[in-house]
Chains A and B, each alone.
Chain A
């Protein structure tokens, strides 16, 4: 395209060095190195029989060993199965929630929407811990309650296992995110489509089944596929609830390979590569689905709907149902996280003075905790600042439409959206170990920050892109025509206008850096251990009360930050 445009002109023009081109190519180089190389190392590393950083020795042994290990295939299968099974209730519930919020006269819709927003940000690891406190066969509160009921014998609940994982996922992010994605879609659905159905004589049920759902079906399907792919990335819940029961998904299996002594890099990498291939196939179909064309253009924003379905008395029942769901999946576990952190010995309610501040006191005075806190703050700050600087510039480049390589840049920056944290971590680990980067990034807080910045690229870039698109090019161009240089324009016009987005996205990335486990889990060392990893260690060593305290602390920090972010107008719409 660019070639044909310049061939008829003197060659001189092509060699003019323009700042925009320099920026474009440096970004391309950076993204190719940062996103491409880890993937490349993952794929080639699986054929490398020696450990990373040692002279390479190529062969198929890793693949043979990985796939003669009976656990490998079953781990892949389990990943698939878990992701599908938990998708079903999540989609049904989120469609129901979104419909109730957006299209009916259910009271408190806005309130429930806000709760979904907050619930989405509650970190999942503390919630998993909380469900252990509630459901553990030995000390779980709900089991104790059940035992005291007449006619109940033995253990009723057991979180360790397939259904435990499915259940816990419905409370950790399972439906909240989808509700947030679907509510705007339901709102945008042209009111006229439903009104026409009404005028044609359809009642609410007919309209729902014959018009609303079919029209939205492609969107719901797209959300489902995306959720399925993202579901495959899950790590924390499976690690805590699956491993004790001998259930492995591919991500916990990779972690398991790397926990062995000596670390089984080869097998882990072979498994990672297989998953990459599976992912590539899935993404291909997802892309086919999305580029299916016309089907998706039906849902256009022609006027917001004013028509709300009247539920009559059912609307109170609907509201109560929503609140009950929130209470059971959010309030209940969070409450027990609080109780757990204050109990001398969790589960022993009948001893003298069961409550104590000791766990909090011990944790806060523990030098390991203080180091981890410091590490986490450094990592999260570096991630937030680095991500904002890098991706605001990238988004600007993508939106400015002056770049020739926008599609390539764009797809590179989407990679981490589908690449599971553990694979990104593994790829980055290879990158650090097999290159001179090992001397200053391996095992350091900065190395973890780099991996987290990479992981943030899709959402951050999209948020800035959305912001820039909304501002439009005119505001910038009018400054240029008024005589302002690019730098002056950036300072006086773009920066002030983008500041709220930058602050909000920065906060969000700070939060996710603070809670991420699967990304730093392969990259940290004892000097660079962040809080989330410390939480993981507490829960492995069975210090549940202290883990509850730390989990609660992290949750509170995130909660406060997200409320601040909401005040700053953080919109998730921009992130998808």
Chain B
């Protein structure tokens, strides 16, 4: 099997005494969209810049298609222009003194391609991003979305090893962002591109990526498919950053009848699966966490296993749905529910948890 398109081995980048990238290792296979997802300042952009060669690592080694491009231990560093990459900057970085055509042609001009070749490839690249006929415009006469497309065309014009996208959609309005998201995905499939994508927007990461790395404080908290990362978050941070979490405190009860969870102020016994029960003793406090969308709201009644009696404290009308502020056994959280039934503030309800989608953790 061929070498991965990109490989990080224990890469470290320091700014002063802060480790912006703190011993990161990962690989990207050809034709994948790999997303670095994390809050601002987590080191995701620095990671991208290390790939581009705009930063030099302080430790570890970086390989592109099996060839080392930065190995500080050996004092080796390949400058950005020799890495054959394409990059779209958050600001697009469209050169204001050049036309659309010359902006896109720049990478080819640098490589001293023949004029006819340049013309064909630039026109092709502009066609791909849907800007055919814009070639002679001044770069500054374009709208934000169009500039973004020019930047994309410029990055694609010479078939880069990896396409680096640094929050490319964050400066666009919501509608355009959705449209570009779909287009980038389609383009990547069509051209078989390998993409390293940086974003802090989880919706973007979920819809675009083959694999997501959740980045926090210079470290990768978790790497996996969007589904893996969302459904099976391995760390508190990963769970909290992707979507919301409802966290309940309970106790394990164990006697001859079996093993069950006991929630404060709740009567129903929620049996614990035998496989799990063995690892707990009677009276152990545990955290149960679940995604709010996995909780169903039911009218008041006798609580069954995994059902909590709760009170609606506030209701907000969101148009497409209701937002309920509920309180169950001293814990307050927010649930969104469809409009088919409306509960009133002050009403007693039941909340049904999905045992298959509960994460259980000892306190």
Contact = CB atoms under 8 A, between A and B. Distances in A.
B306 interface: no
A151 interface: no
Identify the interface centre among B75, B87, B89, B93: most chain A CB within 10 Å of its CB: B93
Interface residues of B, number: 39
Interface string A415-437: 00000000000000000000000
Interface in A334-391: none
B72 interface: yes
A475 to B, nearest CB: 5
Interface in B150-164: 151, 154-155, 158, 164
A5 B73 contact: no
A213 to B, nearest CB: 37
Contact of B52 (A1, A8, A10, A477): A477
Contacts of B107: 482-484
Interface stretch (B29-37, B78-86, B130-138, B351-359): B78-86
A179 to B, nearest CB: 31
Nearest to B154: A482
Interface in A450-473: 472
A481 B91 contact: no
Given A5-B14, A9-B72, A13-B75, A481 B85 contact: yes
Given A1-B17, A5-B16, A481-B85, A12 B75 contact: yes
A484 B103 CA distance: 13
B17 A4 contact: yes
Contacts of A5: 14, 16-17, 58
B95 A497 contact: yes
Given A474-B91, A475-B95, A497-B97, A484 B81 contact: yes
A488 interface: yes
A110 interface: no
B58 A6 contact: yes
Given A481-B80, A485-B81, A493-B95, A474 B110 contact: no
Interface in A76-105: none
Identify the interface centre among B83, B90, B95, B107: most chain A CB within 10 Å of its CB: B95
A301 interface: no
A496 interface: yes
A12 B75 CA distance: 6
Contacts of A481: 52-54, 80-81, 83, 85-87, 164
Contacts of A478: 87, 89, 93, 151, 154
B17 A477 contact: no
A9 B58 contact: yes
B104 to A, nearest CB: 10
Nearest to B106: A482
Contacts of B85: 481
Interface string B54-89: 100011000000000000111100011111111101
A482 B105 CA distance: 10
Interface string A145-187: 0000000000000000000000000000000000000000000
B82 to A, nearest CB: 8
Given A474-B89, A481-B87, A482-B107, A496 B58 contact: no
Given A474-B93, A493-B95, A480 B54 contact: yes
B111 interface: yes
A20 to B, nearest CB: 11
A230 interface: no
A475 B93 contact: yes
A16 interface: yes
B73 A480 contact: no
Contacts of A488: 110
A15 B96 CA distance: 39
A493 B154 CA distance: 15
B80 to A, nearest CB: 4
Interface string B259-297: 000000000000000000000000000000000000000
B22 to A, nearest CB: 13
Contacts of B53: 480-481
B74 A12 contact: yes
A496 B91 CA distance: 20
A16 B80 contact: no
A478 B53 CA distance: 11
Identify the interface centre among A6, A13, A16, A478: most chain B CB within 10 Å of its CB: A478
Given A5-B58, A13-B73, A478-B87, A484 B95 contact: no
A568 interface: no
Interface string A1-38: 10011101110110110000000000000000000000
A512 B85 CA distance: 46
A483 B84 contact: yes
B141 to A, nearest CB: 17
Contacts of A12: 73-75
Interface string B286-316: 0000000000000000000000000000000
Given A9-B58, A480-B81, A497 B16 contact: no
Contact of B72 (A13, A477, A479, A480): A13
A480 B86 CA distance: 10
A492 interface: yes
A9 B59 contact: yes
Contacts of A483: 81-82, 84, 107, 110-111, 158
Nearest to A474: B93
Contacts of B90: 474
B87 to A, nearest CB: 4
Contacts of B59: 8-9
A475 B96 CA distance: 9
Nearest to B88: A478
Nearest to A15: B75
A16 B75 contact: yes
A4 B14 CA distance: 10
Interface in B79-127: 79-87, 89-93, 95-97, 106-107, 109-111
Nearest to B151: A478
Identify the interface centre among A6, A482, A493: most chain B CB within 10 Å of its CB: A482
A308 to B, nearest CB: 30
B1 to A, nearest CB: 28
Contacts of A479: 95, 106
A502 B207 CA distance: 47
Contacts of B109: 492
Contacts of A16: 75
Nearest to A485: B81
Contacts of A475: 93, 95
Nearest to A496: B97
Nearest to A478: B93
Contact of B89 (A1, A15, A477, A492): A477
A480 B110 CA distance: 10
A387 B277 CA distance: 78
Contacts of A15: 75
A1 B95 contact: no
A480 B52 CA distance: 9
A16 B59 CA distance: 15
29 contacts: A1-B17, A5-B14, A8-B59, A12-B75, A13-B72, A13-B73, A16-B75, A472-B91, A472-B93, A477-B52, A478-B87, A478-B151, A479-B106, A480-B54, A480-B80, A481-B54, A481-B80, A481-B86, A481-B87, A482-B86, A482-B87, A482-B110, A482-B155, A483-B82, A483-B110, A483-B158, A484-B107, A484-B110, A492-B106
What 5 pairs across the A-B complex have the smallest Cβ distances?
A: A474-B93, A478-B93, A482-B107, A480-B80, A481-B87
Given A6-B58, A477-B80, 7 more contacts: A12-B75, A472-B91, A474-B91, A477-B89, A480-B54, A481-B85, A493-B95
Interface of B: 14, 16-17, 52-54, 58-59, 72-75, 79-87, 89-93, 95-97, 106-107, 109-111, 151, 154-155, 158, 164
Interface of A: 1, 4-6, 8-10, 12-13, 15-16, 472, 474-475, 477-485, 488, 492-493, 496-497
